[in-house]
Amino acid sequence: MDANLKYLEPIMEQEQFDKLACLNQPKLFQFVRAAYDICEPERIFVSTDSQSDTEYIRRMALELKEEQKLKTAGHTCHFDGPKDQGRDKANTRYLLPPDIHLGNHINSMPREEGLSEVLDIFRGSMRGKTMIVLLYCLGPLNSIFGQLACQITDSFYVAHSENLLYRQGYEEFRRVSGNDPEIFRFLHSAGRLENGVCADIDKRRVYIDLKTNTVYSVNTQYGGNTMGLKKLAMRLGISKSLREGWLTEHMFIVGVHGKNERITYITGAYPSLCGKTSTAMLEGQTIVGDDIAYLKKINGEVHAVNVECGIFGIIEDVNPHDDPAIYKALTEPGEVIFSNVLLKDGYPYWTGMGKELPKSGINYAGEWFEGKKDGKGKEIKPSHPNARFTIRLQELPNCDPRLDDPEGLKIEAMIFGGRDTDTSVPVEQAFNWAHGVITKAASLESETTAATLGQEGIREFNPMSNLDFLAASLDTYIHKYLEFVEDLSNPPLIFSVNYFLTGESGEYLTGMMDKKVWIRWVEERVHGETGALRTPTGLIPLYHDLKRLFNDALGKEYTEEQYQEQFMLRIPQLLSKISRIEEIYRKEWGIPEILFATLKEQRARLENMRKEFGDYISPLVLSQANIEGK
């Protein structure tokens, strides 16, 4: 018998031991033993793929008051503490050996020092609790995309959430029994609780050990810090994929339905609260995923899968007009976990849900009433701006039937977008792969939001919308991105989008549902059915195409005045952005020279056009010679 398994046998209940032992996974046994020794739980529960184990986890989340039952069948609510409402970037660190440095963007510390600190915090953290061993597969089962993962936690809320978000992997572990597969490992403890929330927030830590593919998360309950298979696994996936020549990306996957029942699969990378989930959920299209994708090359094409099979989505502004499919799923019977919303008489309420909210109730800050302020005098909103919902994708009427396709889905376009009030046009196509990677993806900037702790509204550099999760140096990441399609004859087209452009009055120039039009234009460009206007920064739509698409998609009139204001070339802002991006990359080492050359060429094109037309240029003044395609 394996030595670690033999050690665990007298500790565990026979049923739980048998569930673990039949997997024949020595690395897994070692992880479970190490977690037991450091955390000192009262008992160990091993979750299989069975319905009875799933139901036990749901029941315990309610019995331990980590969740509370709501009036609608299947609905529950969880509250994180007032100081535990977003990803803790400051205390999320990579643990690196002394000879490894991944760049200035990486928040890191010496590996041995970090392990010593975090394991000391973990010591005894599960006394009197159950240690839950959860087994999952990131990506479809029995697929070249599949990645085995083990989450160990003392939170039944975390276990319940991950059972909605990820594919059960117990049988997958059994299928590869004895093959010694690579496993992503996650150890989490909520730590000491007071009134159901973490009491030692000052000792909140999220440490990532790339050497052993292990993430340690302690003294936190917020999903982005605790659900290991989400953004924490994404960091391990990025490290693995760059070693092996594929991509792990912060991307949705959506099936866009075009002419003659054609479905075109598109990915999109946007920072949190930038329209990512709402784009993936567009009415009339089918959703494959809204957050994390693995991309690999299969038979000369780029294919992608959704790592997850559920949504941990921001609920603010989800309403029946703008998000009918999500809203329907959130207001009808079915398994949904709400977090950090307002509760009143057993029902959830949130900001922007399209109806009047109660004047009082219970929220993440406790008893709430309209006008209530926190200790710093700031008014507390009914629901937190980063309040969430957790739901299986298959609960949604627009879930794509190929969600679990083991071969993945052919990707024909990739979109990069962020919050940009004054520079980029609503939609634009790159000239080619390298131009898109450099000027759309690697140059992405976005204003900060409530999804991370800290000040909101600050413009931040966020290449590929992946900087927070990047487990590599920027030079390695950009090199690998550029090389990814070198052997492909028809790589995906690259586009940028910007839903947040504002006019002189400060009002948004585009409506919330205008994204339907931008995505339709992208789909038509993939198939060569729509022309475009060449500008110094890329290819933009022609007015007559947008007029047609606005009428078809939204039943709205689209005027030349709107077109001119939305697609105006803002030369001073575009040049300033190039200068900002160049300055950032000049401070890094090893950045490929093609990046600086491409930005230099774009600057020259902008300056030449400025000499001819001035600082702000209407697309209507550009000559017919600039039109490409139909």
Q: Which residues are catalytic?
A: 274
| Three-state DSSP class for residue 103 | coil
In order of 29, 167, 199, 313, the CA distances from 255 in angstroms are 40, 21, 44, 19
In order of 233, 265, 530, 552, the CA distances from 249 in angstroms are 11, 15, 28, 32
CA atoms within 13 A on the CB side of 68: 18
The b-or-e profile of 474-502 (16+ CB within 10 A means b, else e) is bbbbbbbbbebbeeeeebbbbbbbbbbbe
Contact of 538 with 431, CB cutoff 8 Å: yes
Torsion of CA 208, 477, 415, 222, to 10 degrees: 10
Nearest to 293 by CA among 435, 147, 175: 147
CA atoms within 13 A on the CB side of 560: 4
| Three-state DSSP class for residue 578 | helix
| Two tokens, residue 613 | 């037309």
Residue at token pair 């039943």:
555
CA atoms within 13 A on the CB side of 548: 10
Rounded (5°) CA angle 286-225-172: 60
**φ, ψ for residue 191 (rounded to 5)?**
75, -155
| Three-state DSSP class for residue 78 | strand
The Cα 58–Cα 201 span in angstroms is 26
3-state helix, strand, coil in the chain (%, to 5): 35, 25, 40
Nearest to 290 by CA among 298, 301, 282: 282
The Cα 422–Cα 439 span in angstroms is 17
| Two tokens, residue 475 | 């030079």
Tell the burial category of 112 from Cβ atoms under 10 Å away from its Cβ (0-12, 13-18, 19+).
Answer: exposed
**φ, ψ for residue 244 (rounded to 5)?**
-100, -5
